[in-house]
Amino acid sequence: DSGVTQTPKHLITATGQRVTLRCSPRSGDLSVYWYQQSLDQGLQFLIQYYNGEERAKGNILERFSAQQFPDLHSELNLSSLELGDSALYFCASSVDGTNYGYTFGSGTRLTVV
Amino acid sequence: DAKTTQPPSMDCAEGRAANLPCNHSTISGNEYVYWYRQIHSQGPQYIIHGLKNNETNEMASLIITEDRKSSTLILPHATLRDTAVYYCIVMYAGAQKLVFGQGTRLTINP
């Protein structure tokens, strides 16, 4: 157990739907990062939050959004889902927003049918 | 961020040392070398990082050449559980995100 908790572990949904992925960072970590891993794209950085504020943005689609709440957990919202959104979504956390000591969760596997 | 080059795949016999190379010829003076690995579809796992000096921890050793243009991750006694994709990443310590390349798929054979 890495200390980073992601729920749900698996999610199957239909095209056009909206889903929310949840991440609880390791105790004491202020930064949360979201990554997408599809078969043909590798691990792609989506977005980072630090203590509730957006800190960095990667190749995140406009249909996707995220936020970090006062208790530091984060949610990734994916809407108008397409088949190509099927992927593993990982959350990682770190203490202070630097990249030393990223801890990743076990991921959410999203299947869009 | 400096670009890294890793072989796409490598094999190693169980019990032997696995040496994974990484080239980063455009690395800047204050960029660190990080290694992560991903076992099957699990979340990536931090292994080790270094700036100039060689580093060792309970998982691995990191050897960085004097000119810092390349490095080698050494798993001293590889086991079947070390089969994974290994990522070499070069970044500033204060950078906002880890950028993963394609990595090296290491297969440990019995």
Residue A95 has what pLDDT? 83
Q: Is the pLDDT of residue B99 over 90?
A: no
Q: Does B21 touch chain A (CB under 8 A)?
A: no
Distances (CA, A) of A93 to A4, A34, A37, B19: 7, 9, 17, 29
Q: Read off the pLDDT of residues B66-93 as tens digits, 9 standing for 90 and up.
A: 999 999 999 999 999 999 999 999 988 7
pLDDT at residue B1 greater than cutoff 70: no
Contacts of A90 in chain B (CB under 8 A): 43-44
CA gap B98, B1 in Å, rounded: 10
Q: What average pLDDT does range A51-72 have in this prediction? A: 95
- Using the predicted structure, report yes or no on whether residue A50 has a pLDDT greater than 70: yes
Taking one residue from A and the other from B, the number of pairs with CB-CB distance under 8 angstroms is 58
Each residue's pLDDT tens digit, A77-100: 999 999 999 999 999 999 876 656
* Span B98-109, average pLDDT: 93
* Whether the bond into A8 is cis, omega within 30 of 0: yes
* Distance of alpha carbon A97 from alpha carbon A102, whole angstroms: 9
- Please report, rounded to a whole number, the percentage of residues in chain A having pLDDT higher than 70: 96
Quote the percentage of chain B above a pLDDT of 70.
Answer: 97
pLDDT value, residue B39? 95
Indicate the residue of B42, B46, B87 with minimum beta-carbon distance to A106: B42
pLDDT for position B29: 87
The pairing of beta strand A87-94 with beta strand A103-104: antiparallel
Residues of A with CB under 8 A from a CB of B: 2, 4, 33, 35, 42-43, 45, 48, 55-56, 58, 88, 90, 92, 97-107, 109
Task: Pick from A33, A41, A99 the residue to mutate for testing the B interface (most B CBs within 10 Å).
Answer: A99
Q: Which residue has the tokens 């995220």?
A: A66
Chain A within 8 Å of B53 (Cβ-Cβ)?
no
